Structure 1
């Protein structure tokens, strides 16, 4: 009863093992995506499809914070931007 040839049941073990690996990979991927979706903060926008552009002042502040520009290079464009906003009434 349940006798197999001396080499085993052929490709059955390979296919079964591959199927198990694919099953666990899909299960883990779904778990990770679900975790990331549920833990996204209310203020965060999705990674793709972000249509809101940061303001010029924010971009300038980020460059200054990263050390790309020094204080003089930060203050001059900032004052120009502030003057432009005052003129336009914003």
Structure 2
């Protein structure tokens, strides 16, 4: 990975995280917990986090509760997102 690619990646990550901070509190908390889970299992692909943000932003626009977006089993929601992106070996 070149220096330019690393710099661009960091810039993209900062922009993504700034957008996450604009989510309502309940969405923000769940996003951060999913993010921690992804980091624990080694997921670092920015695309996954971008998709998660898009799903959450859609829920905010539709004015639905966060649990209507994720369901009560947030871990299962997270795993299904990874399977959808073929990033989880299950």
Give the structure-2-normalised TM-score: 0.30
Higher relative contact order (CA 8 A, sep 6+): 2
Q: Name the structure with the higher helix share.
A: 2
